[in-house]
Chain A
Amino acid sequence: EAEVAQSPRYKITEKSQAVAFWCDPISGHATLYWYRQILGQGPELLVQFQDESVVDDSQLPKDRFSAERLKGVDSTLKIQPAELGDSAMYLCASSPNGVAGETQYFGPGTRLLVL
């Protein structure tokens, strides 16, 4: 069964350093999502792509976070510089078309610890 791939699974970094996370969605899925999940909370959407275009980045802290999906397939989320409050699980999800009522398929996540 096709799955969403993410790497790395775990990342420890010091504050002020740069970090990057990678996501490969299910083949053929046009819509890709990045979520942040703080421990004990539900996921919160950071950015949504439709193919290579950003359709929602209203909750992305743009002073330090950036995301790209250059060829409309895999995607990278970057944080520079990392802050202590960025420690969280970063989840990537994909869906076929991004329309209402569609199931989102999640990857295993990248757990980030900022020291």
Chain B
Amino acid sequence: SQQGEEDPQALSIQEGENATMNCSYKTSINNLQWYRQNSGRGLVHLILIRSNEREKHSGRLRVTLDTSKKSSSLLITASRAADTASYFCATEAGGSEKLVFGKGTKLTVNP
């Protein structure tokens, strides 16, 4: 079963624009992680935000977490063609180290 739901399912933007993806989840969590998957490849960890954090930055990535709304957002600034990939949120619920992934957002960055 999938805990997270990403929105939108697909997003197409031009190089240089910002991309925002949202993730909603159902149960309380210890942390939330974002992963990237290039077409036909494995997943790559991007960033982790803990339940007591509200915002985190890593390079061109900015992640926010609102535990009251059970939602998170991933912002990629100044996007590049190389950012074209699917992006997944994954939640780790209380009492478990198990990651539960959402269905993902497919991002296309056009040159």
Please give the residue numbers on chain A whose beta carbons come within 8 Å of chain B beta carbons, in ascending order. Answer: 4, 40-45, 48, 56, 89, 91, 93, 98-109, 111
How distant is A26 from chain B, measured CB to nearest CB, in Å?
12
Given known pairs A4-B42, A100-B92, A101-B50, the reply for A42 and B30 (CB within 8 Å) is no
Q: How many A-B residue pairs have CB under 8 A?
A: 59
A102 touches B43 (CB 8 A): no
B97 touches A100 (CB 8 A): yes
Could you give, for residues 85-106 of chain B, a 1 whenever the CB lies within 8 Å of some chain A CB and a 0 otherwise?
0001010100001111111100
How distant is B108 from chain A, measured CB to nearest CB, in Å?
15
Sorting the interface of chain B by its residue count into under 10, 10 to 19, 20 to 34 or 35 or more gives 20 to 34
> In whole angstroms, what is the CA distance A101 to B56 when docked?
15
B42 touches A48 (CB 8 A): no
Q: Is the interface of A mostly helix, strand, loop or mixed?
A: loop
Within 8 A of A (CB), among B1-41: 1-2, 4, 30-31, 33, 35, 40-41
Residues of chain B with a CB closer than 8 A to A40's CB: 103
B98 touches A108 (CB 8 A): no
A42 touches B103 (CB 8 A): yes
Given known pairs A41-B103, A42-B102, A111-B40, the reply for A103 and B45 (CB within 8 Å) is yes
B99 touches A104 (CB 8 A): yes
B30 touches A101 (CB 8 A): yes
How distant is B104 from chain A, measured CB to nearest CB, in Å?
5
> In whole angstroms, what is the CA distance A104 to B48 when docked?
11
> In whole angstroms, what is the CA distance A104 to B90 when docked?
11
How distant is B57 from chain A, measured CB to nearest CB, in Å?
17
